[in-house]
Amino acid sequence: MRKHPLSLCLLLLLTLQGSAEKQIDYFEGYETQFYQTNPSTTQTIPSTDASVQTPSQSQTPTPAPSPIPFEYAENDPLHFGNPTDAIADPSSPNNYLMIKPQFSLSYNKDTFTANWVAWHLCKNDIGDADRSNKFIADKELPQDWYALKKADYKFTAYGFDRGHLCPSADRTSSAQDNQQTFLMTNMIPQAPDCNRNTWKKLEEYERDLAQKGNELYIFAGGLGKGGTGNTGYFEGILIDQGEILVPQYCWKIILVLPEGDDDFNRVTQDSQVIAVCIPNKQGCQEAGSWNAYTCTIDYLEEQLNMDFFELLPYEIEAALED
């Protein structure tokens, strides 16, 4: 007997409803962790078959990486890390952090010199300001610490220049910026041949890189004990308050990037780095220019017990420092 079309529709709907109720009863007997979404209700129900899933169900979303908690902003010289974890606390007198607009440094109260000075260099830092030539005590040291004066280097007796770590010519955009480079906390005793020849040529090279559209992150300091100045070999310069350390070597590390933004994510394993360790003695220029004294960052880290660019991903840091 032929059924009426309306009756067929009603029968089909009843059949589908019964099937759905049985399916739900069937699902309730399982405790699987897979879920499928009912598009019409946006409710979720357990699924018994982990192999039957939509693409969105079969792939666990990858959480976005947590942002690196930068303590120092881009273009700050410590953007990629503080190599000795220096702190601005007098209870850490031999690793005392000093932050200035022109550069940052870790000061050592016992040696009267910086463990390192760090600065960022770009073409905007280079202008027309004259060289100050006024060496001054750093009044930002803790009040009960002795702040070196210009006369303390006693050039006539010991024969060492007051050698800039952050160069005067790297800060010529204003007279104030240039004056800050003449703070005595930015000086180390340097053999004249080192300061005025080999070291100077590297300073000129870094400014040339900046003028050509690069930005540089730079660290510099002294290594070891004992250098040879105009009047001979000395391990220190005696003052009433102690002894100013004369380093055996003058070192520098430079990371070079094309000018731009998002510096952290633009550093690659192929980024240009320069590391040098120059003897602090008369005649050092006879071996050639600064590139006769290149070394690896790993070597300097081992000798200095410091960790440079520690915030970079390990693979990139390792490639740059090897």
For residue 67, what are its two tokens? 């942002």
The catalytic residue among 4, 79, 120, 164 is: 164
Write out the DSSP string of 33-46. Answer: S-EEE-TTT--EEE
Encoded amino acid at 96, one letter:
Y
The β-bridge relationship of strands 187-190 and 161-164 is antiparallel
For residue 312, what are its two tokens? 């970079």
Residues 6+ apart with CB under 8 A from 112: 146, 148, 152, 239, 241, 242, 243, 244, 245
Nearest to 183 by CA among 134, 129, 242, 247: 134
**Helix%, strand%, coil% for the chain, nearest 5:** 30, 25, 45
Known catalytic residue: 79?
no
Would you please indicate which residues are annotated as catalytic (active-site) residues?
Answer: 164
